[in-house]
Amino acid sequence: MLFNSYGFIFAFLPLALAAFFLLGRYSQSAAALWLVGVSLYFYGHWNPIYVPLLAGSIAFNYLFGYGIAKADTKGSDRLKFFLTAFSICANLALLGYFKYANFFIDSIDWAAGTSFSMGKIVLPLGISFFTFTQIAFLVDTARGLVKEYDFIHYALFVTYFPHLIAGPVLHHKEMMPQFAKKETYEFNHGNMAVGLAIFSIGLFKKTVLADGIAYYVGPAFYAASHGGNPGMGEAWIGALCYAFQIYFDFSGYSDMAIGLSRMFGITLPLNFNSPYKSVNIIEFWRRWHMTLSRFLRDYLYIPLGGNRKGKGRRYFNLLATMLLGGLWHGAGWTYIIWGGLHGLYLVINHGWHALRREFGQDPTVPLSGAMRILSVFSTFLAVTVAWVFFRSDNVGGALVMLKAMFGMAGLHAGGISRGAVNWIWILLLVSWLAPNTQQIMRSFSPALDYREEGDSSLAWQPDRRWLAAHVALAVFGVISISKVSEFIYFQF
């Protein structure tokens, strides 16, 4: 089931909300259990066969988490270490089988000329998200940071449908206290208004902006991966259109998830904050998929040593983290190269900052107007180049695209659509100049730990002017649902 579908908007969501708040009048546990049930239904609507897998994963990790906590209270460090290591390895083995088994077998076959086969393994939706969420829970339990072990709340923490399929990657300390609050289960007009407003913005971004430009993405990438020779202009059009498709697709999903959750009285962490406004790659990863960046930092980069063991080790840790981050996004060499490129970008960015400090400059000082424009533009181009690998069907197709983009396959323009050019200019201006959803909604705490920023003249208020604007966005968003259009991050 998709957020951008008639069944979800006009049937599933109203029923889920009505029953949740009705049950909440009498029993918080019953309301929470209802939300677990509808979340499992939401997940199973895609493929019911994987609901037992999700349920089994929840039961397994809860029991091991509880066992780790008990071992910790008894001072049994060896047992705690064994339970933690075994449970994490079990989670990684499950993820590895479903997500990476075919990739590794295919890579071995390609390198060794063999013909091993495991058959086609269908990837369960959201397995990366609910696996990483639970690994964080296990690690923090071993660290003594988990304070609550209510099974219903834990099951809701993992299955909660606004985040289950494509994030954000949740942290138990952010969510469990909200599930325990009495106010969460009481209908609140303010939460409903804010949630609907944010959801309508996200729906418009997905169905009108992202899906609108998606039409122009395929031709160049398809030609490059299937023996064609896209021209320089055609290749740049394809790459730029994809850069904006994935931007507004993920931005739209993130808004819709936050808005849906707010309707239930629960505030999610911010996961997307105008990353194309970044002046460098370091800032980009503080704005793009923010909760994944946080997870990789806290549970991979820092345990590897972070920046505590010298520059060389720091740069190695950055590269390793981003390579694994690329592999997390998909089982393919294109994703690994994409992650490696961003790792290289980060190494260069941190190295440049270190060099500036040696010459007495402070990299944290805000840039002048012209330098800021140049920095944002160059960062955007670097990100767009990396997106070519992310989108391409294979490495060969990505290289064909890049050769065309940089004139190495001739300077012919190829087929350029005026419609695509118009879309690019519109979305470029929107992504660079327009306030984002959080800035518009900043007076109403749209996300956890969000710091107010932006021009107050566009601050949202529950008045007729804003009501008319959101009704228009919702109408355009709904009538643009012409077919099933999955979110790009659903495949991860």
**CB neighbours of 332 closer than 8 A, spacing ≥ 6?**
103
Residue 448 dihedral angles phi and psi, to the nearest 5° = -65, 135
Residue with tokens 């996961």: 271
3-state secondary structure of 408: strand
Amino acid at 419: G
- In total, the chain counts a number of residues equal to 492
**CB neighbours of 36 closer than 8 A, spacing ≥ 6?**
152, 155, 156, 159
Question: Does residue 203 contact residue 3 with C-beta atoms inside 8 Å?
Answer: yes
Give the CA radius of gyration of the chain.
23
Question: Which listed residue (153, 171, 172, 329) is catalytic?
Answer: 329
**Helical residues (DSSP H) of 395-484, grouped into ranges:** 395-405, 418-433, 437-440, 464-479
b/e burial code for range 237-250 (CB count within 10 A of at least 16 → b)? bbbbbbbbbbbbbb
Question: Does residue 335 contact residue 386 with C-beta atoms inside 8 Å?
Answer: no
Active site annotation includes 171: no
Residue with tokens 């490129």: 341
Q: How far apart are CA 94 and CA 193, in angstroms?
A: 40
Residue with tokens 């409903």: 192
For residue 81 the two structure tokens come to 């270490």
Q: How far apart are CA 323 and CA 317, in angstroms?
A: 10
Question: Does residue 157 contact residue 150 with C-beta atoms inside 8 Å?
Answer: no
The span from the first CA to the last CA of the chain, in angstroms, equals 16
Q: Which residues are catalytic?
A: 329
